[in-house]
């Protein structure tokens, strides 16, 4: 028997933006399969959701391993009999000036940030098409829209997500499956905490709203796109960036 709740599969759900997305979707009544490499951290999110009555399960998967990611999604579909929402959120950076960038830093970022999203979409969509309802939400970045010095690999992966998402949106629109990107600006998480104070000050200067974003700012947009209210939105890139790209 299929799970009565809509099922959402969220990568990178153990911390930062992904954790906020998992908790927001659980609060909205989804059963969430939260994925990351560190199972212990994921268990903390499962517990936090359960304390508020939310239903989350943790799954340790390295999304850069295409076979493992495909198997994990197939297992979730088999277990729950459905897959309604897919959020490709997990991502990494390996920053450096492009003239000195090693192939490995390019490959690691492209595999984790872009190829994984292709693999997971491919694994999840057949079930969505059958149900004639589905939401694919890919977490891109303003770096994919306007570029960023020192992030040629990261910006390429995030721009690639945009082209991929728009193409998937066109292929699946007739089946009432939507695909959209959310492009965060500068959000306070582990990923941005490592940046030196002088870089943070410079970034703040180009944010019209004059503050860094919070994980809940992104989670709110993802929760909206995952809802029935967003059924007429597809192929879009929605920047949640304090006005950086206006
Ligand atoms: P974060 O705090 O560094 O968290 C990254 C998440 O991805 C963690 O849950 C991590 O868990 C998981 N992850 C990384 N590599 C993985 C792998 N190979 N397999 C499975 N899970 C993996 O990052 P964040 O700031 O929340 O960013 C989330 C997304 O938003 C990313 O795609 C990022 O590019 C995008 N974004 C962030 C910002 C920002 O300002 N923070 C801005 C624009 C876009 P494990 O390490 O346990 O695997």
Residue 149 burial (10 A CB sphere; 0-12, 13-18, 19+):
exposed
Q: Is the pTM of this model over 0.95?
A: yes
Report in angstroms the alpha-carbon separations of 231 from 9, 227, 238.
Answer: 18, 7, 15
Q: Which of 13, 62, 45, 17 is nearest to 190 (CA)?
A: 17
CB 88 within 8 A of CB 135: no
Residue with tokens 């890919």: 138
Position 13 scores a pLDDT of: 98
Q: Which of 61, 31, 76, 36 is nearest to 49 (CA)?
A: 31
Residue 40 burial (10 A CB sphere; 0-12, 13-18, 19+):
exposed
User: What beta strand segments (E) does the chain contain?
Assistant: 7-11, 31-36, 55-60, 85-88, 134-139, 177-184, 237-240
How wide is the angle at C-alpha 119 spanned by C-alphas 117 and 121, nearest 5°? Answer: 65
Q: Which of 141, 154, 186, 189 is catalytic?
A: 154
Name the β-bridge partners of 9.
Answer: 33, 86
Q: Which of 14, 103, 104 is nearest to 62 (CA)?
A: 14
Residue ranges in the chain whose pLDDT is less than 50:
none
Separation of alpha carbons 45 and 125, rounded Å: 26
Name the β-bridge partners of 32.
Answer: 8, 56
Helix/strand/coil for 243: coil
Separation of alpha carbons 151 and 93, rounded Å: 8
CA of 11 from ligand 1 middle (Å) equals 8
Position 244 scores a pLDDT of: 97
CB 213 within 8 A of CB 168: no
CA of 113 from ligand 1 middle (Å) equals 9
Position 56 scores a pLDDT of: 98
154 is catalytic: yes
Q: Which fold has domain 7-237?
A: Rossmann fold (3.40.50)
89-108 residues labelled b (16+ CB within 10 A) or e (exposed): bbbbbbbeeeeebeeebbeb
CA of 195 from ligand 1 middle (Å) equals 15
CA of 45 from ligand 1 middle (Å) equals 15
| CB of 242 sitting under 6 A from ligand 1 | no
Counting ligand 1 atoms within 8 A of each CB, the residue from 19, 21, 24, 36 with the most, and so the one to mutate, is 36
Nearest atom in ligand 1 to the alpha carbon of residue 90 is 7
Nearest atom in ligand 1 to the alpha carbon of residue 184 is 43
| CB of 190 sitting under 6 A from ligand 1 | yes
CB 86 within 8 A of CB 126: no
Position 1 scores a pLDDT of: 86
Helix/strand/coil for 184: strand
Q: For 184-195, what is each residue's pLDDT tens digit? A: 999 999 999 999
Which amino acid residue places its CA nearest to atom 19 of ligand 1? 62
């Amino acid at each position: 028997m299929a799970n009565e709740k809509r099922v959402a599969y969220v990568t990178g759900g153990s911390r930062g933006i992904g954790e906020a997305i998992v908790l927001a979707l659980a609060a909205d009544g989804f059963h969430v399969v939260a994925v990351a490499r560190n199972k212990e951290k994921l268990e903390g999110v499962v517990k936090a959701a359960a304390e508020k009555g939310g239903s989350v399960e943790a799954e340790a998967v390295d999304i850069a391993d295409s076979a493992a990611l495909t198997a994990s999604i197939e297992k979730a579909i088999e277990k729950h009999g459905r897959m309604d929402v897919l959020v490709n959120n997990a991502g990494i950076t390996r920053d450096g000036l492009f003239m000195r960038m090693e192939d490995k830093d390019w490959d690691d970022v492209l595999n984790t940030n872009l190829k994984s999203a292709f693999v997971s979409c491919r694994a999840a969509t057949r079930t969505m098409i059958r149900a004639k309802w589905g939401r694919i939400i890919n977490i891109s970045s303003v770096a994919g829209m306007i570029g960023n010095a020192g992030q040629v690999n990261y910006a390429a992966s995030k721009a690639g997500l945009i082209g991929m998402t728009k193409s998937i949106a066109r292929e699946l629109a007739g089946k009432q499956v939507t695909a959209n990107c959310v492009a965060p600006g500068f959000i306070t998480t582990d990923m941005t905490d490592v940046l030196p104070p002088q870089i943070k000050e410079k970034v703040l200067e180009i944010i019209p709203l004059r503050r860094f974003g919070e994980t809940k700012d992104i989670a709110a947009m993802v929760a909206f796109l995952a809802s029935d209210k967003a059924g007429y939105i597809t192929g879009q890139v929605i920047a949640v960036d304090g006005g950086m790209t206006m």
